[in-house]
Amino acid sequence: MFKLVLTFQDTVLEEYTFDTTPVTIGRREDNDVVVDNMAVSGHHAQIEEEETNFYVLVDLESLNGTFLNQKQVTRERIFDGDAIIIGKHSLNFVDLRPEEEQPLRAEESQGDKPAGGAFRDTVILDTQAQQALLAKQAEERGFPQDQLPEKPKKIELYGTITIISGGTPQIIDLNKRLTTLGKASDSDVKCSGLLVGKTAALINKRPNGFFLAYAEGLKKPEVNGKAVTTQVQLQDGDDITIGSTRLTFNLREEIS
Amino acid sequence: MIIEVWATTDVGKQRSINEDCYYVDSDHELILILDGMGGHQAGEVASRLAMDTISSFYKEHCGGSADSSDIFDSYDQRFTYHTNLLRQATFIANRVILEKSLENQELIGMGSTLAGMAIHDFTVSLINVGDSRMYLIRNGLMEQVSKDHTLAEDQVERGIMTRDEVRDSQLRHILSSVIGVDPRIRVHMDELTVFPGDMFLLCSDGLTAVMSDPEILQEVLRDKPGPRTLDRMIEEVNLRGGPDNTTLALAVFIEEPQPVKESKLQSLLAKTLAVFHGRKRNISKARLPGGYRCLNWS
């Protein structure tokens, strides 16, 4: 049981009390709440019930939209004290059920908390339904199917290591997420020298660059003559020394 | 370096069943968080089935290497053996759940998300499917190191939405990839070198649905990391209505005060601590920079 108070420019025009749903709102005479104004669609919106004890405001694809507390909605739960705006008219919603039977607004969206809304549960859709939904949303945002916006540019980073001395001269592409440097026979970059660890260092490819980290061994890797104890971001042209092996790092950016 | 790991799960304030689960294995240095979904009790079945499949496959093969194994459907050369192993385990779990759901009318459409990390050779392998997340907290800053498989994220990649709009979009609740629903599955992988002081937080969307990233970071840094950190976060989630199940795991990498070689007694104790599954709080060990194999528990 609930009450709707129809007001126009702060003047109360009418009060309606309802026991059952749906309750329809619109300009035409066959609505439960008739709002006679050209800004209001023939059948503009309705109030329904939803499990377990919620009242829900549903916009019936009206021309000028249905607003709940200043926010345009298509389907939204409503609570005691909410203001529904249709055209220039306002309908204040008063829940007449005993307080303990009224639902709590607790998890509704407010302020800086993430929005709740209609999909309270996580949903899985099959691929076709996903594509349809994505296309629909794109269209609503002014991107019809054949005029999708350009994909945001991505900067792809390409790093290489060149072995200058203390190993077989070669250029190694750093296309793995992790490249190992050390004495171990399965290292990606084999290094030699006294006290050099099996895995002396690792180069980690991250979205924002390449990072060289110390791993093990008494001899720490050096970048531009400085020993690395944790990790450093590598810059184009950096000299890397691991034991008696000298290497150069090169970085290239490509926009894709 | 030593790793301390705590994990906990909570049903929340509005559900009667906890469909989340977690797995912490100190011997194989594996941490998984899973969030099941599906009607009746199907979500619970899916997340546990995924957990059992992934953990047992990983344990079985984590001592192997890329050359000796014919266990892979495909092998991504850009990633280490262990990361490929986690991905293959996820592929298998996908098939297992799909098969299971076809056997029983009540289980059709069940699925599970996954956020997992394995620690090995100075690094962590990260894997995720769906909207369960992983964060790296380093030097007081937090970075999401998982990728959300949601339609909202898809729209960002297509240039239709901005990142700021995602938080208010309904599309962020619709998953574009999940274990056990479609034969094809998208899996996100990453690898990171780790350092003393690093922390990883793994969480189901019960946490991220009600707390923003800055709020989560503030809660993690509030005090010395420990089981209380997780308890405080669960309390906060429930204060905010606890709409969903929440599962959290926090892994903290700390410097060993002095190098201690593993004694026979310690290795014996390590074995006795092998069964961790289902316990509320766990402590793990690992071989990491410094090269020591240490065990720590308190």
Which of B262, B267, B250, B251 lies closest to B291 in space, CA to CA?
B262
Which of B157, B229, B210 lies closest to B188 in space, CA to CA?
B157
Q: What is the pLDDT of residue B264?
A: 61
Comparing alpha-carbon positions, the chain B residue that sits nearest to A113 is B210
Reported ipTM? 0.77
Higher pLDDT: A148 or A97? It is A97
Q: How confident is the model at residue A8 (pLDDT cuts 50, 70, 90)?
A: confident
Contact residues on chain B for A213, CB-CB shorter than 8 A: 122, 193, 195, 289
- The Cβ-side half-sphere exposure at B44, using a 13 Å CA radius, reads 9
CB contact under 8 A, A122 and B205: yes
CB contact under 8 A, B78 and A117: no
Which of A122, A125, A137 has the CB atom closest to B155's CB atom? A137
Copy the structure tokens of residue A17: 């009390």
> Distance from B188 to chain A by nearest Cα, in Å?
13
Length reported for chain A: 256
Contact residues on chain B for A114, CB-CB shorter than 8 A: 167-168, 208-210, 212
pLDDT digits (tens, 9 = 90+) for B208-219: 999 999 999 999
Distance CA B199, CA B217 (A): 11
φ and ψ at A23, to 5 degrees? -115, 120
Higher pLDDT: A100 or B92? It is B92
Distance CA B282, CA A124 (A): 32
Q: What is the pLDDT of residue A200?
A: 95
Q: What is the pLDDT of residue B262?
A: 58
Q: What is the pLDDT of residue A7?
A: 86
Which of A35, A5, A37, A36 lies closest to A18 in space, CA to CA?
A5
CB contact under 8 A, B173 and A119: yes
Q: Which residue has the tokens 């499917």?
A: B129
Contact residues on chain A for B212, CB-CB shorter than 8 A: 112-114
Q: What is the pLDDT of residue B286?
A: 41
CB contact under 8 A, A213 and B193: yes
Q: What is the CA radius of gyration of chain B?
A: 19
Higher pLDDT: B134 or A86? It is B134
Comparing alpha-carbon positions, the chain B residue that sits nearest to A214 is B289
pLDDT digits (tens, 9 = 90+) for B13-68: 988 899 999 999 999 999 999 999 987 789 999 999 999 999 999 999 998 888 76
pLDDT digits (tens, 9 = 90+) for A189-217: 999 998 999 999 999 999 999 999 999 99
Which of B182, B193, B243 has the CB atom closest to A231's CB atom? B193
- For all residues of chain A together, what is the average pLDDT? 86
Q: Is the pLDDT of residue B298 over 50?
A: no
Copy the structure tokens of residue A18: 């309802």
B125 close to B84: Cβ distance less than 8 angstroms: no
| Beta bridge mates, B41 | none
Q: How far apart are the first and last CA of chain A?
A: 59
CB contact under 8 A, B159 and A150: yes
Which of A121, A176, A199 has the CB atom closest to B78's CB atom? A176
State the greatest distance between any 2 C-alpha atoms of chain A, in Å, as a whole number. Answer: 94
Q: For B195-218, what is the mean pLDDT?
A: 95
Q: What is the pLDDT of residue A217?
A: 92
| Beta bridge mates, B115 | B33, B128
> Does pTM top 0.80 for this prediction?
no
Pairing of strands B174-175, A123-124: parallel
Contact residues on chain B for A113, CB-CB shorter than 8 A: 210, 212, 240
Q: How many CB atoms lie within 10 A of CB A232?
A: 18
CB contact under 8 A, B79 and A127: no
Comparing alpha-carbon positions, the chain A residue that sits nearest to B205 is A122
Q: Is the pLDDT of residue B269 over 60?
A: no
Q: What is the pLDDT of residue B97?
A: 95
Distance CA B73, CA B191 (A): 20
| Beta bridge mates, B114 | B129
- For all residues of chain B together, what is the average pLDDT? 86
